[in-house]
């Protein structure tokens, strides 16, 4: 709030106090005035107190409504890891494309990584279209499960990006960084394929459920696959291998 606006109420209070004091200061003058007298003097004294009382009341109510001033503190810096924030598919795709220029000998494997992003996005789009076309709001948990699966796939691919940034490859797949980086990419691709396979089954089951046909066309079957996808997210192949010390 500007300083002038902050001072305005107090200026009004000062003027009201001055107005209230005038009848008291000049009471004797009013008493001897031709149009004065005790009644007039006393009436003016109390009437002059009205603006002061009103101004004081307004200031009091404003103080009650004003929130307590907090000490300005610098926001604490949060140490966010890639597992604690949502990842952008397009950002991951962009970095994978950039890695192909740094590691031209691994272009094929990095293309497979990009295709996995497209794979999960296609499943999400198809499921959304299926639910919208059939007004199948009872499948609302399925898109959420695919969203969680997408984040797992992106987190795994971010591992590829991070390793690619620090790796120096020379095209010899049998030695040095080439061998290690190639092995890591294949490991990530295999883990993501497990997730994508369960997502494909989930979407197929949702389609059968809506159509009322097929062996997986039941609510219990779809719910089971939703649980399976989420279980895969919680215990991915990569996490299991890391916990095993490999």
pLDDT at 19: 57
Q: What is the mean pLDDT of the chain?
A: 75
Q: Can you give the pLDDT at residue 119?
A: 96
213 pLDDT above the threshold of 90: no
pLDDT value for 8: 60
Neighbours of 30 (CB within 10 A): 19
Per the CB < 8 A criterion, the answer to whether 159 and 238 are in contact is yes
Across the range 43-68, mean pLDDT stands at 60
> How does DSSP classify residue 214?
S
Closest C-alpha to 199, from 85, 97, 133, 117: 117
The better pLDDT of the pair 204, 24 is held by: 204
| Range among 36-40, 164-168, 238-242 with highest mean pLDDT value | 164-168
Tokens representing 204 are 């197929």
Sign of CA dihedral 101, 186, 82, 144: positive
Q: Which residues contact 186 (CB under 8 A, 6 or more apart)?
A: 109
pTM, whole model, 2 decimals?
0.61
User: Residues 53-64, buried b or exposed e (16+ Cβ, 10 A)?
Assistant: eebeeeeeeeee
For residue range 147-200, list pLDDT tens digits in order. 999 999 999 999 999 999 999 988 776 677 889 999 999 999 999 999 999 899
């Amino acid at each position: 709030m500007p300083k002038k606006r902050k001072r305005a109420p107090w200026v009004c209070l000062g003027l009201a106090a001055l107005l209230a004091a005038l009848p008291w200061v000049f009471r004797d003058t009013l008493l001897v005035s031709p149009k004065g007298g005790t009644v007039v003097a006393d009436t003016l004294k109390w009437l002059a107190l009205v603006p002061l009382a009103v101004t004081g009341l307004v200031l009091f109510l404003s103080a009650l409504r004003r929130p307590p001033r907090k000490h300005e503190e610098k926001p604490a810096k949060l140490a966010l890891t890639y597992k604690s924030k949502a990842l952008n598919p397009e950002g991951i795709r962009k970095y994978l494309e950039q890695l192909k220029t740094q590691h031209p000998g691994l272009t094929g494997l990095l293309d497979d990584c990009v295709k996995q992003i497209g794979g999960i996005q296609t499943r999400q789009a198809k499921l959304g279209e299926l639910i919208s076309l059939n007004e199948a709001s009872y499948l609302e948990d399925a898109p959420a499960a695919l969203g969680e699966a997408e984040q797992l796939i992106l987190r795994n691919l971010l591992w590829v990006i991070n390793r690619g940034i620090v790796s120096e490859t020379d095209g010899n797949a049998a030695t040095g960084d080439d061998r290690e980086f190639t092995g890591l990419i294949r490991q990530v691709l295999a883990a993501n394929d497990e997730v994508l396979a369960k997502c494909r089954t989930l979407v197929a089951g949702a389609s059968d459920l809506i159509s009322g046909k097929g062996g997986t066309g039941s609510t219990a079957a779809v719910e089971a696959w939703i649980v399976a996808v989420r279980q895969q997210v919680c215990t991915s192949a990569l996490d299991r291998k890391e916990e095993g010390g490999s």
